[in-house]
Amino acid sequence: MSRDVAEQLKRELSGKTPQEILCWAAAFFVAGECALASSFGAEDQVITDMLEKEQLRIPIFTLDTGRLPQESYDLIEATRKRYGIEIEVLVPERAPLEALLTRYGPNLFYESVELRRECCRIRKVEPLAGKLSTLKGWICGLRREQSVTRTGVELVEWDGSFGLIKINPLADMTDAEVWDYILQHEVPCNVLHAQGYPSIGCAPCTRAVKSGEDIRAGRWWWEMPEHKECGLHREQHKPS
Ligand code: SF4
C-alpha cells in the first residue's frame, strides 16, 4: 500500500455511504489485514453496528489505557454481549509506564502539554503503533465536524504517521445523523453521553461540555484547542 493507492481509492470511493465503504474494505483487504480501532465512542458504536448488520468479519480492537471511566468498561462488556463478538484489548507496556508514573506521579497530565502527550504516547500511541504495524488498513470513527483538528478528515486517506490506509466511513456524517442512527437501531452507547459527554476518553482527562461548546471541548479542557489530539490522529487532519 502507498499514498498513491490511497489517493486513487479516495477518488473511487468519493460519495459512497458508510455501509458501502465498510463492504468495500471487507472485500479489498485480506482477512485480518484491516481492523476497526474502537474507543467505544458513539461513532465507533455506529460502525460496529454496521459491521454486524452487514455481517462483515472485520476484527475490532481497543486501547485500554488503564484510566478509562467505569462507564466505558461497562459499555465494552455490553457491546461484547449484544453482538456476541470478541474485542481485542491492547494495554500499555509496563516498564515505561511504571517509570513515567514513578518520576512524575499519577496526575502528570495536568502539569504540561509535554507530560500529557507522554502519557498518551505510552498508554495509547505505542500500543496502537504496535497493532497497526500488523495491518494494511485501519477503520476509525473520525468525522470532519468533530473539532478544529479534524476538518480535513477524508473517507479514505493515507496515514503517513503509521504507514497504512486509514478509512473514516463516517467522515461526512453530522452529529445529528450519528444520533439518528443510534436511536433508530438501538445501538448500545456510553451512559456518559446523556450526562453531557459527547467525546469520552480517559476519566481524568474528560469532562462534560456546556451548551454551545465544541464536541471535543471536554477533552484535555485545560489545553488550547489546537493541542487536543493524543497522537492517534495527527497533523494530517488540519486544514491546509
Ligand atoms: S487521555 Fe489522559 S490519562 Fe489517558 S493517556 Fe492521555 S494523558 Fe494519559
For 177-233, the pLDDT digits (tens) are: 999 999 999 999 999 999 999 889 999 999 998 888 887 888 888 887 666 666 677
For 82-96, the pLDDT digits (tens) are: 999 999 999 999 999
Q: What is the pLDDT of residue 138?
A: 97
Q: What is the pLDDT of residue 3?
A: 85
Q: Which residues are catalytic?
A: 230
Which residue's CA is the closest to the ligand 1 atom numbered 1?
A: 202
What gap in Å lies between CA 182 and CA 174, rounded to an integer?
13
* For residue 24, pLDDT beyond 90: yes
CB crowding 140-167: b at 16 or more within 10 Å, else e: bbbbbbbbebbeebbbbbbbebbebbbb
Q: Are 202 and 68 in contact (CB under 8 A)?
A: yes
Under CATH, which number does the domain 3-196 receive?
3.40.50.620
Q: How far is the CA of 154 from the centre of ligand 1 (A)?
A: 26
Q: How far is the CA of 111 from the centre of ligand 1 (A)?
A: 12
For the chain, how many residues are written?
240
For the chain, the first-to-last Cα distance in angstroms comes to 24
- Ligand 1 pocket test, candidate residues 202, 207, 222, 233, most atoms within 8 A of CB: 202
Whole-number average pLDDT of the chain: 91
Residue that has been written with the C-alpha cell 481497543 in this structure:
62
Q: How far is the CA of 110 from the centre of ligand 1 (A)?
A: 10
Ligand 1 site residues (CB inside 6 A) read: 65, 67, 109, 116, 119-120, 123-124, 201-202, 204-205, 230
- Ligand 1 pocket test, candidate residues 116, 118, 199, 219, most atoms within 8 A of CB: 116
Mean pLDDT for 5-24 is 92
Which residue's CA is the closest to the ligand 1 atom numbered 6?
A: 120
What gap in Å lies between CA 129 and CA 159, rounded to an integer?
12
Q: What is the pLDDT of residue 233?
A: 72
- Ligand 1 pocket test, candidate residues 120, 122, 126, 199, most atoms within 8 A of CB: 120
Q: Which atom of ligand 1 is nearest to the CA of 206?
A: 1
* For residue 167, pLDDT beyond 50: yes
C-alpha cell recorded at residue 230: 493524543
Domain ranges of the chain: 3-196
Q: How far is the CA of 202 from the centre of ligand 1 (A)?
A: 6
Q: What is the pLDDT of residue 231?
A: 67
Which residue's CA is the closest to the ligand 1 atom numbered 3?
A: 202
* For residue 240, pLDDT beyond 70: no
H-run or E-run covering 9? helix 3-13
| Full DSSP string of 185-219 | HT----GGGGGT-SS---GGGB----TTS-TTTTB
* For residue 142, pLDDT beyond 70: yes
